[in-house]
Amino acid sequence: MAALPDRAARIALSCVVDAGDPSLAALVAEVGASEAWARVIDSALGEPAARRAAQFDHRQVEILSRHYRVRFVVPGDEEWPAGLDDLRFVAPIQRRAGVPIGLWLRGPRHLGDLSGRAVAIVGSRAATAYGIEAATDLATDLAAGGWTVVSGAAHGIDAAAHRAAVAAGGATLAVLANGVDIAYPKGNATLLSAIAQDHLIVSELPPGQSPSRIRFLARNRIIAAAAVGTVVVEAAHRSGARNTASWTVECGRPLMAVPGPVYSAMSAGPHQLVRDGRASLVTCAAEVLELVSALGSNVAVEQRGPDRPTDGLDEQRLSVFEALPARAFATVEDVSRRSGHPVPTVLAQLAALERAGLAEVEERGWRTSRDGSASTTGRGGQAHG
């Protein structure tokens, strides 16, 4: 069988391996998508995936994609959101992990633009009237301030946040645990169709796929990574929103929680997150922006691209950049030693430098990018799957 090109291999992989399989993420990171596809056929990820791969028909995807005006974006595409690459460094939560091998998109907005200045608002399906009001007010004010509201299109808090952003004339991004062509839950069909019409729906899963518990857990990491920070509005002690909260903390993004009456079971989750020191208490959009606006504008600066490659780098990032060799390759430990920063700091700064096209990584290690635009070299613009 002839090797599939990178993009086609990613599409094929997304159709035969379940979302967020950390073995797939590791395999693609190691050998690239084309080789990963060949190995999946050779049972590298088990017999069931190999059987699905053998039966995979590319024409099916094309038909679905055209019919639903769906596109597929991959890391390195101009539309790919830089924030999602942070998932490389994130430890698996409940067996899900890794940078998505690609994302299915439906809707007219630009994913990279939306994600650069975005706050996730998540919470319980069984929200109270108080929670709905709080989510609505937060989303309205954030959307009016030019921030994308990211959520999961579930009943309750999620739907209230999306609706408020739409009503405020802002932008919203719905991240689904099923195909972007499927209206789930059915009660939110009108809302999802409005989002598909004027905003953006995203999923790691190909068209036609239904949600499952494991897909929800994998989806939550994309909500956390696609936003600059996450607000938990209402959540019971055990709640999916707490899974998104964990991803947010793992991604190194600010986690925020809205307080409520101590007698409300739906506020027990947010209160616990504050008590554990994991979330900051927030009561309004201004307090959310205090925590995320610096991050949002940093991302924005990187996306605009500086006049000189290193313009606009802060002192720490510049010192990591300057510790990189131009021709040889350096390990993260080398860079840590040369720059004087600890390894986690170096990892985070290298990721940012790579996103800015200033550093590149191979199996041998890290070095400065040779043409200052490594992150887009040889990958072309976005194409429709």
Which chain residues interact with a copy of itself by CB under 8 A?
130, 133-134, 258-263, 267-268, 271, 274-275, 280-284, 287
- The whole-angstrom separation of Cα 296 and Cα 300 is 6
Q: How far is the CB of 287 from a copy of itself (least distance, A)?
A: 7
Q: How far is the CB of 232 from a copy of itself (least distance, A)?
A: 13
- The whole-angstrom separation of Cα 198 and Cα 312 is 33
Query: Within 10 A of 330 (CB to CB), how many other CB atoms are there?
Result: 21
Angle at 151 between CA 158 and CA 284, to 5 degrees: 75
Task: Write phi, then psi, for 107 (nearest 5 degrees).
Answer: 130, 160
CA nearest to 230, candidates 106, 298, 139, 141: 139
Q: Which is nearer to a copy of itself, 213 or 275 (CB)?
A: 275
**Is residue 114 within 8 Å of residue 148, measured between CB atoms?**
yes
Q: Which is nearer to a copy of itself, 13 or 138 (CB)?
A: 138
- The whole-angstrom separation of Cα 236 and Cα 151 is 18
Q: Which is nearer to a copy of itself, 259 or 306 (CB)?
A: 259
Q: How far is the CB of 164 from a copy of itself (least distance, A)?
A: 15
Q: Which is nearer to a copy of itself, 274 or 352 (CB)?
A: 274
- The whole-angstrom separation of Cα 25 and Cα 297 is 29
What are the helix (H) ranges across 69-201?
A: 111-116, 129-144, 157-167, 189-198
**Is residue 242 within 8 Å of residue 274, measured between CB atoms?**
no
Q: How far is the CB of 262 from a copy of itself (least distance, A)?
A: 4
CA nearest to 322, candidates 346, 334, 339: 339
Q: How far is the CB of 258 from a copy of itself (least distance, A)?
A: 6
Q: How far is the CB of 280 from a copy of itself (least distance, A)?
A: 7
Of the chain, the end-to-end C-alpha distance in Å amounts to: 21
Q: How far is the CB of 255 from a copy of itself (least distance, A)?
A: 14
Q: Which is nearer to a copy of itself, 205 or 291 (CB)?
A: 291
Q: How far is the CB of 140 from a copy of itself (least distance, A)?
A: 14
Q: Which is nearer to a copy of itself, 194 or 281 (CB)?
A: 281
Q: How far is the CB of 234 from a copy of itself (least distance, A)?
A: 11
Q: Which is nearer to a copy of itself, 130 or 184 (CB)?
A: 130
Q: Which is nearer to a copy of itself, 283 or 331 (CB)?
A: 283
- Residue indicated by tokens 């509005």: 233
Q: Which is nearer to a copy of itself, 272 or 316 (CB)?
A: 272
Tokens of 248: 């947010």
Going by C-beta distance under 8 Å and a sequence separation of 6 or more, which residues neighbour residue 211?
A: 176, 177, 178, 184
**Is residue 251 within 8 Å of residue 86, measured between CB atoms?**
yes
